[in-house]
Copies of this chain bind each other. A is one copy, B any other.
């Protein structure tokens, strides 16, 4: 029951989205095979993953969608609101603040910080941009758990350190550079640009566009 492997956790987040969808369509039962089909997985993987949860399926029917949704929510912590702040009020930071999905998923953006003093006081979605000097105070006072780093790559590490010293427990790094997990905070990278490069590699691997480097060896 304890300590799921990361790949399992990542798939659970997919199951949750899918199950929420079909719940809305009033589908009551779902089998491991249906989940697998919908998410391009195998039913074996799905059953293996779900075995980490406090849920039992029923032969010939599968899993009750409502229960599955509830259990997944609880396991992923999606049933509680978590307080987060965004550092960096550039395009990315703003998009995050404006992106309604966070709120819907239980992530409450409590504040936005930026080092550009011209921006201080401006409001985004009702959330005021504050100065970096106030970060520590606000994070402490409002019991912020998560900091999202949306600053230029070169500032990422110092912002991470500041957030952790202010008491944040988890960091979402939207930068493309590596952030060393200071203290015992956890860091997860979003890696949008790395994802694009990964995509490019997969595309070329598939039908060998480009490069044309014929593995000269011997």
CA distance A13 to B92 in the complex (A): 20
Of A58-66, A110-118, A128-136, A177-185, which stretch is located at the interface?
A: A177-185
Among B10, B107, B200, B213, contact of A76 (Cβ-Cβ < 8 Å): B200
Question: Taking the full assembly, how many copies of this chain does it contain?
Answer: 2
Given contacts A74-B213, A211-B74, A217-B1, contact A206 B184 (CB under 8 A): yes
Closest to A154 in B: B21
Closest to A173 in B: B195
Q: With a CB–CB cut-off of 8 A, which chain B residues contact A197?
A: 9, 13, 16, 76-78, 105
Q: Does A210 contact B (CB under 8 A)?
A: yes
Q: With a CB–CB cut-off of 8 A, which chain B residues contact A10?
A: 191, 194, 198
Inter-chain contact A146/B199, CB cutoff 8 Å: yes
Inter-chain contact A193/B101, CB cutoff 8 Å: yes
Inter-chain contact A105/B193, CB cutoff 8 Å: yes
Q: With a CB–CB cut-off of 8 A, which chain B residues contact A189?
A: 195
Inter-chain contact B177/A18, CB cutoff 8 Å: yes
Q: With a CB–CB cut-off of 8 A, which chain B residues contact A39?
A: 178
Q: Which residues of A come within 8 Å of B, CB atoms?
A: 1-4, 6, 9-10, 13-14, 16-18, 21, 38-40, 54, 74-78, 80, 82, 84, 91-92, 94-96, 98-99, 101-102, 105, 107, 145-146, 153, 169-172, 174, 176-178, 180-181, 184, 186, 188-207, 209-211, 213, 215-217
A-B CB proximity, top 6 nearest: A95-B95, A1-B215, A13-B194, A91-B98, A186-B202, A188-B199
